[in-house]
Amino acid sequence: MPRSKKGKRGSSKAGSLRQEVLQLQLAAKAPLKGVKNGMKGESGASDDEMTSDVLSHYSSASESTSVLEDNTGGEQVDEQTAQEETEDKLKQCMEYVMDKSAKTRLAGLESLRQAFSSRLLYEFLTERRLTLSDSLERSIKKGGGEEQSLAATVFALLCIQLGGGDEAEEGFKMLRPILTAILIDNSASIAARQSCARALAMCCYVSAAEEGEDLIKSLTLLESIFMSSYPNREGNLPTPKPGMPGLHCAALQAWSLLVTLCPASRLTVLLDLHLPKLQACLQSSDVNYRIAVGETIALLVELGRDLDQQFEVEDNESLCRCLKSLATDGNKHRAKNDRRKQRSIFREVLHYIESDDFTEEKIRFGVESVYIDSWMRRRMYDSFKEIMESGVRHHLQFNPLLRDIFGLGPPLILDAAVKANKISRFEKHLFNSAAFKARTKQRNKVRDKRADVM
């Protein structure tokens, strides 16, 4: 359904598309003239207003380096001034994280999460990594569930920002015991334990990939979480406690990311141990956990076939029957969206198990693209996306760590002419609005003629 159009209609006489764009530009700029001094004083700002101010700053600052305001000769943004403003905002947020008020700390952590997701801040964070790590350690140790969850996510983003070098490894060794303690604490918040599982795997993946001992410890810890969902000696699945399927799902996905780093000798052991148990977990009552199990099975089979082209799952026929049942599941007691999502994923898993064929996906960012052409690359991309959300595309474009992981090479340096010719988001919106209006007018004429004929 098209959006309802507000304001006065244009003249009935049809104009050019360029005229429509100009009219929309004037209409968009006119209301802004009456806005004066809308900001409140700093001393009276609430935590919500503070968060909104910081997030709006980063959403505008993360739009790449320099853009032109419009085609009429607007001045170029002063990058140095923008950088200084950004650093001042970050320093302020770091101070908020050390505040006595829990609400202020949450606002500071959320602002840092948004900032770290939306742009690259390597130089700034390198100088302040120890101070920030201490603050995050305090929040994870003593904060409530929401604060622990946010702090763990910010720490994972910090490791990604630092590029997986010595600085990130130093921070990981400092916070790993705390992440571990929260993850295995049955009295801790489920959301905090989920974030700690993702943060532990991501930090290990980017900063300690070459340390075999850290990798094995992290794998073993994550296994201890999701293996409680495995069938008992009688072959029956345990009844999950409230919230536990979500934790098992996060731990299994985090474990799957680290499995992609395992050497062949270790991978063979993991395949023999986990594949039969995971097949039984396809009967779990939680749809998200079933999907995570199906994707993990496909990943393990792919890794097994990379080791040996003749690799086959034990009792492959039974596995395919189960996957086919899930791919065509029509049980009405399940939510419609859950059924649709489950069928889509398990069709892909079944297709891969039977024909060794993966449905390729293309992710566009800037003027580049990355191809997700295997279950391993999908797990890698999904893991980064779970932590960075929409900011993953910006990091794919500019972060050397992600570009190295996905084989993209050094960040591209675009020519100034290319940047200048790139249409802005606002101009694209105006163009699409004018085109939509022109199409609507044309279709209305056709509908009128049809009505006359009838």
pLDDT of residue 240: 85
C-alpha dist (Å) from residue 293 to 202, 245, 300: 19, 11, 10
Q: What's the start-to-end Cα distance of the chain, in Å?
A: 25
What is the SS3 assignment for 454? coil
- Mean pLDDT (whole number) for 188-214: 88
pLDDT of residue 69: 37
In contact, 223 and 184? CB cutoff 8 Å: no
- The rounded distance, in Å, linking the Cα atoms of 437 and 414 is 34
For the chain, which residues make up each domain, given as ranges?
A: 262-359
Distance, CA of 417 to chain centre: 31
The tens digit of pLDDT for each residue in 357-403 reads 998 999 999 889 999 999 999 999 999 999 999 999 999 999 999 99
Q: Which residues contact 313 (CB under 8 A, 6 or more apart)?
A: 275, 279, 297, 301, 319, 353
The tens digit of pLDDT for each residue in 290-336 reads 999 999 999 999 999 999 888 988 888 999 999 999 998 767 566 77
| Confidence grade of residue 58 (pLDDT, cut at 50, 70, 90) | very low
- Phi and psi angles of residue 363, each rounded to the nearest 5 degrees, phi first: -105, 120
pTM flag (> 0.95): no
Higher pLDDT, 12 or 97: 97
- The rounded distance, in Å, linking the Cα atoms of 137 and 130 is 10
- The rounded distance, in Å, linking the Cα atoms of 84 and 249 is 41
- Mean pLDDT (whole number) for 41-55: 47
Return the structure tokens found at 220.
């073993």
What is the SS3 assignment for 65? coil
| Confidence grade of residue 430 (pLDDT, cut at 50, 70, 90) | low
Dihedral (C-alpha) 230, 232, 236, 239: value to the nearest 10 degrees? Answer: -70
- The rounded distance, in Å, linking the Cα atoms of 298 and 351 is 10
Q: Residue holding tokens 């244009």?
A: 10
- Mean pLDDT (whole number) for 273-281: 94
Burial state string for 34-57 with b = 16 or more CB within 10 A and e = fewer than 16: eeeeeeeeeeeeebeebbebbbeb
In contact, 377 and 358? CB cutoff 8 Å: no
pLDDT of residue 315: 83
Task: Quote the Cα angle for 332-338-344, to 5°.
Answer: 110
Least confident residue range of 233-247, 291-305, 316-330, 431-445: 431-445
Q: Residue 17: beta bridge partners?
A: none
Single-letter amino acid code for the residue at 156: A
- Mean pLDDT (whole number) for 137-150: 94
pLDDT of residue 449: 45
Indicate the helix (H) or strand (E) that contains 170.
Answer: helix 166-183
pLDDT of residue 314: 83
Q: Is 360 exposed, middle or buried (0-12, 13-18, 19+ CB in 10 A)?
A: exposed
Return the structure tokens found at 88.
């001042």
What is the SS3 assignment for 149? helix
Distance, CA of 135 to chain centre: 24
